[in-house]
Amino acid sequence: MINRVIGSATDARLDVAMLTKEWPPKIYGGAGVHVANLVPALARVGKVENSVKNISVHCFDGERVDAHGYKLEQALSALNPAISALLIDAAMLPQLSRSAIAHSHTWYANFAGDLAKRTFNIPHVITAHSLEPRRPWKAEQLGGGYEISRWIESTSYRRADAIIAVSDGMREDVLDCYPFLDADRVVTIRNGIDSNKFSPTSSREFLEKNSIHGRFALFVGRITRQKGLKHLLHAFKDVPREIGLVIAAGNPDEPGIGSEVETLINELKSERHNVWWFPTMLPHEELLQLLSAADLFVCPSIYEPLGIVNLEAMACGTAVVASAVGGIPEVVMHGVTGDLVPWSENAHDFKSDLATTITSLINDQARMDRYAKAGRERVVREFGWDAVARSTIALYQSLCH
């Protein structure tokens, strides 16, 4: 194990550098939620086990009181996002010299971990939240930078000491996209959730303030092709009009998908009165009210390594309808905690199956109640963050021998 000598004593506790694009308050996706929960869990478990000495967080978007934040000078702000990421990753490097291990999240921060490994000869761990080869539509967002993001990811994965997949489905994707990897270097440690933070609430203040009434389905996520929101909007035209739809979605990846979704939402609003759209990230308490009050939660993703939003809905005691892609079937047990819809490249078939499944479930209160109860129980039993932290620390220790 890597040993740090302090005075005359040998300190075997780990000094971990957590490398991430997102850190509170700048969180917009599942990777950011993951890191924001993993870090305190590692500190908590590491203190009990006396295995972690320090965790330093290195993130984008400027300084924080609880993290090393990095931001480009104004003159460089117009650079392609992929080039910007490379420069920020390089700026992180001097601060990583005393770390025993580097742990990076998403391609945005992977290169910083790779540089730390090359420069300081420390292990580099990557958590795979998504894969660039599985998201070709990112070329619309990054332009030529998409080739750079793919290169960053591939290069970093090739040299990483270990890659954590957030689901078994994600592990299969990693090995499929990067067949040069030794399968032993890719391990599954599933995403977690704070079941105390996400739990059913009876508060309805937010719903009353926004006149949200009647039965409704809920979508929560970023506006990106990956999340499949446009498929849900098309499908909802075939869902009975008395069923409402609440959409908590913003931060479009690029103008095209943003305009397309806005047009579809406005079309749906013109046909029915019970459609509500919240285009900015909601405060936790307001989101909790929606998750708890919804009759069902819908996750129509076309690509999803795990789908933490499904865990959040289940934790709040809400039945789920989700597409059967990636790691979602490892979270949403079909016929137990929700209903899964097979993904089809034929958009018409997927839309039709989605509409039929939503309509069938929302009209079966007994089944929704059964799914809601089983979902909450499954989250509490199997997806706690302390379990994630223990597995992660064990991985760190195996690499530091």
pLDDT at 10: 53
363-374 per-residue burial string, b: 16 or more CB within 10 A, e: under 16: eeeebbeebbeb
Q: Are residues 158 and 220 in the same domain?
A: no
- Smallest CA-to-CA distance from 102 within 22, 24, 181, 14 is with 14
Paired tokens of 112: 């910083």
- Smallest CA-to-CA distance from 319 within 341, 340, 297 is with 297
* Three-state SS at 368: helix
79 half-sphere exposure, CB direction, 13 A CA radius: 16
Is the pLDDT score of 3 beyond 60?
no
Q: Are residues 370 and 392 in the same domain?
A: no
The reported pTM is 0.77
| 291, 320 contact by CB (below 8 A) | no
Compute the mean pLDDT over every residue in the chain, rounded to the nearest whole number: 92
The CATH number that applies at residue 179 is 3.40.50.2000
Q: Are residues 249 and 165 in the same domain?
A: no
Q: Are residues 268 and 342 in the same domain?
A: yes
pLDDT at 136: 81
Per-residue pLDDT of 152-186, as tens digits, reads 999 999 999 999 999 898 999 999 999 999 999 99
Q: Are residues 32 and 57 in the same domain?
A: yes
Q: Does 198 map to a domain?
A: no
Q: Are residues 241 and 309 in the same domain?
A: yes
Q: Which range among 136-140, 194-198, 368-372, 379-383 shows the weakest confidence by mean pLDDT?
A: 136-140
Q: Does 197 map to a domain?
A: no
Residue that is written with structure tokens 């034929």 in the block: 346
Averaged pLDDT for residues 371-386? 93
Stretch (H or E) spanning 298: strand 296-299
End-to-end CA distance of the chain: 3
| 109, 20 contact by CB (below 8 A) | yes
Q: Are residues 118 and 226 in the same domain?
A: no
Q: Does 133 map to a domain?
A: yes
What range defines the domain where residue 243 resides? Answer: 205-382
- Binning pLDDT at 50, 70 and 90, where does residue 79 land? confident
Q: Are residues 280 and 335 in the same domain?
A: yes
Q: Are residues 185 and 218 in the same domain?
A: no
Q: Does 199 map to a domain?
A: no
How far is residue 11's CA from residue 88's CA, in Å, rounded to a whole number? 31
Is the pLDDT score of 1 beyond 60?
no
Q: Does 355 map to a domain?
A: yes
Q: Are residues 238 and 135 in the same domain?
A: no
Q: Does 79 map to a domain?
A: yes
Q: Does 232 map to a domain?
A: yes
Averaged pLDDT for residues 59-85? 90
Per-residue pLDDT of 289-335, as tens digits, reads 999 999 999 999 998 888 889 999 999 999 999 999 988 999 999 99
Q: Are residues 249 and 179 in the same domain?
A: no
Q: Does 200 map to a domain?
A: no
**Could you tell me which residue, 145 or 11, shows the higher pLDDT?**
145
Q: Are residues 229 and 361 in the same domain?
A: yes
Number of domains in the chain: 2
